[in-house]
Structure 1
Amino acid sequence: MKDASLEARVAHVRRLLRNTPLVDGHNDLPWAMREAAKDPLDVVAYDLRRKTAGMTDIARLRKGMVGGQFWSVYIPGEVRDSGYARIQLEQIDIAKRTIARYPDVFVPAFTAADVRKAYAQGKIGSLLGMEGGHAIENSLGALRSYYELGARYMTLTHNVTLDWADAANDVPRNKGLTAFGKEVVREMNRLGMLVDLAHTSPAVMSQALSVTEAPVIWSHAAARGVTDVPRNVPDSILARLPKNGGVVMMTFVPGFVSQTVANYGAQVTAVRDSIAKRYPQDNDAQFKAVAAWRETHPTPIATINDVADHLDHIKQIAGAAHVGIGGDFDGITETVQGLEDVSTYPTLFAELLKRGWTDTELKGLAGENVLRALKGAESVSALLRKARPASTKTIQQLDGRR
């Protein structure tokens, strides 16, 4: 359909998505709800049956033809003093009560089969994904408890380097994964919890691929060969995915998908640092100086074409069987032009049709690839649970940490 009109291509995509589920790997709605509410645990005030102030509601999910969703139960890595476990449990509670509040739309999902069953019923299979291994507080027992509460992936790090794993956007301290970090990966394999390598350093990515016995995912990431920022996946890692069976779920963060936007962000940071030195302890002067600079340096725009370029690149290096979608909606403050909310997925697929992607490749991108990876993790778990008991190893035993 390279030469078909946009309207014809979107219509084709909609027919395609009526026969295969579109499964998004990362939506931060639970945290957006927490921040929007006067009571952090109030899921009633944030009514998904109406158009929300954010990027997600039921009408837009339906328009975007979402058939399955990993809801991120993210907690910041910087909230250690507030108690990781309490906030993590609250976020799981928010997500679960939100899913239960709309039983005609959402169905709790724990397996790939659950997602397919929900999709067959015209509902959105809803899985939970933990964003950041800081939540387990160096405890494999806590990891198992979160799995029992429904978490089906865990991003090994968020933006903060842990005692056992290095983050992409923080100072590396562990040369990748420590011995305990590798044990976390092995225990996730035994449980059937997908290892999510978004936010991790390349060393963590490489070592996790060497340790894991199950497919891995990047729940929201892009290609470093297109946009050279630390959060993206290097080509050397992409080339290893066919052997592993893993999936990079393409994100829509402007600074990750456009080198021009990324360069602008780095320039803004440099300007702010320079201005802060010129006007130390004068916040008003700093604000006015940055605003004046921005007036003469408008923010560049990332487009659907930028996102499609990443998908083409990942397809070229790793193969069409190793791409997915992980928009990061409601976890971002700026959006790609044409991909402003959860209603817009079909437009991206229409662009890929224009570029020659086949229906089989688009079905894989939509959800078949990540469901295959999840099913693979479930199959590995079934074997490992018979072969070995739950690990009781500690970070003190393996890494000598106090």
Structure 2
Amino acid sequence: MKARTATFAALLLAGCATTPSKTSADVSRDQARAVHDRLLVLDTHLDTPMHFQRPGWDFGAPHDPATDLVQVDMVRMEAGDLDGGFFVIYTDQGPLTGQGYADALAFARARSDLIDSTLAKYPERIVPVTTAEEARAAAAQDKLIAFKSIENSYPLGLDLSHMKEFYDRGVRLMGPVHGANNQFADSATDDPHWNGLSSLGRQWLAEANRLGIVVDASHASDAAFDQMLALSTAPLLLSHSSARWAHDAPRNLDDARIRALAAKGGAICVSTIYLSDMHLEGERAELFEQYEHMESMTPAQQADLARRWRALDAEQPLWDADFETYMEQVLHVIDVAGVDHVCFAGDWDGGGGVTGFNDISALPLVTQRLLDAGYSEADLAKMWGGNVLRIVAAAQAAAE
């Protein structure tokens, strides 16, 4: 897989690369690419399932960025040597009512089924996994790796037995909350209601620990993070979060909490989002609304949306950040947390990506910059996949 995509990868990287700054440890792109090729590379938050039911769209085919906004497909995974990651069951926050919970549960079940049916079309290229051992075995067979995660536990309603249902469906990473407070916890981007976790949220945490599901603290308020860190019997994962050092946004985590996370064995998967204010007004808001409902658009309408989006990018990108901004943050987080507690997740297909680092075909650029900074291949092996698999295994061991 990796060998047969080298030419395509080189073409993609030539189009999206920025020029890394030179250091005394500077390595060539070919050297960095060889190292990256040997690593097991995972991303803990892939929103790509939102594209799986788009008319005329094929997860196994390449897509032209000029006419398609997707940032992850199997061709790009192979090109960027992304071995796999966590494919997200995301449900938008709705009313905290019986009907709201029922509708959300039906949606989450359908999204889980959609992930399964999509992966089943490509058994020779990608396989679902639920353990660190299965992930390593798939990589050894040169196959792509697909874990499942839940972003926003709202669909569980008030019945925590649904956690076992989704565990049986293959979910191994779960976050309690998203962009608004729900029945389990306060969101980082909402006003406090529970002052952290609700009583039900504490039960949710205990059940996640009992089942061996990794607890994802991204999107949770600082108070909810603190309580989950104190109460969890297994390490936490921040599946897609940035550092507040880089930009003072409530979605980002401050250095003290990053250190506390590391002290208890957890890891922060460094994201590309909220490295600046988000430009989500005017035409961008209109386009984003259409983007979230592409399953109802024809292929021609989807292509037109992509062209309008790219034209707006040229005038006003979604984020005032670039690859240099991202790497400054990465190096800072490594300094704070240590190489045993850092991982990566760009929030691809969920609003992530910055100038010069626009999709997963550019991942080897990160490896090159980290090698330039003096980090070893063993360090990179931890950060690109080893730390995530360690935490998955630790959650399951704690449950056992």
- TM-score, length basis structure 1: 0.79
Task: Select the residue among 360, 379, 388 that pairs with 2:397.
Answer: 379
Instruction: Give the counterpart letter for 2:370 in structure 1.
Output: L
Counterpart position of 1:310:
329
Counterpart position of 2:201:
181
Instruction: Give the counterpart letter for 1:247 in structure 2.
Output: A
Task: Select the residue among 88, 109, 116 that pairs with 1:72.
Answer: 88
SS at match of 1:239: helix
- RMSD of aligned Cα (Å): 2.3
SS at match of 2:32: helix
**In structure 1, what is the Cα distance between the partners aligned to 2:26 and 2:195?**
50
1:50 matched to 2:61? The reply is: yes
**In structure 2, what is the Cα distance between the partners aligned to 1:224 and 1:4?**
28
Counterpart position of 2:219:
199
1:239 matched to 2:255? The reply is: no
1:31 matched to 2:42? The reply is: no
**In structure 1, what is the Cα distance between the partners aligned to 2:183 and 2:60?**
42
**In structure 2, what is the Cα distance between the partners aligned to 1:298 and 1:159?**
24
User: 63-72 or 348-357: which moved more?
Assistant: 348-357
Counterpart position of 1:62:
78
Counterpart position of 1:346:
364
Q: Equivalent residues in 2 for 1:273-352 (5 A)?
A: 298-299=316-317, 301-332=320-351, 335-352=353-370
Give the C-alpha shift of residue 237 in structure 1.
1.1
Counterpart position of 2:271:
251
Evaluate the alpha carbon distance shift between residue 81 and residue 381 of structure 1 in structure 2; reply closer, same or farther with a 3 A threshold. Answer: closer
Task: Determine which structure has more spread, i.e. the larger CA radius of gyration.
Answer: 1
Instruction: Give the counterpart letter for 1:46 in structure 2.
Output: W
Deviations 1:11-42 (A, max 9, x none): 233322333310110111111334x33xxxxx
Kept after mapping to 1: 8 A contact 2:52/2:118? no
**In structure 2, what is the Cα distance between the partners aligned to 1:216 and 1:98?**
29
- TM-score, length basis structure 2: 0.80
**In structure 1, what is the Cα distance between the partners aligned to 2:236 and 2:165?**
21
Deviations 1:311-363 (A, max 9, x none): 2222122211111011111111x631222112111012212222222222211
Give the C-alpha shift of residue 186 in structure 1.
1.2
1:118 matched to 2:134? The reply is: no
Kept after mapping to 2: 8 A contact 1:14/1:65? no
User: 15-24 or 373-382: which moved more?
Assistant: 15-24
Give the C-alpha shift of residue 164 in structure 1.
2.5
Deviations 1:247-271 (A, max 9, x none): 1111122xx12xxx31x649x69xx
**In structure 2, what is the Cα distance between the partners aligned to 1:58 and 1:306?**
27
**In structure 2, what is the Cα distance between the partners aligned to 1:75 and 1:339?**
27
**In structure 2, what is the Cα distance between the partners aligned to 1:217 and 1:51?**
31
Instruction: Give the counterpart letter for 1:134 in structure 2.
Output: Y
**In structure 1, what is the Cα distance between the partners aligned to 2:349 and 2:263?**
33
Q: Equivalent residues in 2 for 1:86-235 (5 A)?
A: 86-235=106-255
How many percent identity over aligned positions?
27
Structure 1 residue runs of 4 or more that deviate by more than 4 Å after TM superposition: 297-300
Give the C-alpha shift of residue 198 in structure 1.
0.6
Give the C-alpha shift of residue 381 in structure 1.
1.0
Unaligned runs of 5+ in 2: 1-21, 286-311
User: 78-87 or 318-327: which moved more?
Assistant: 78-87
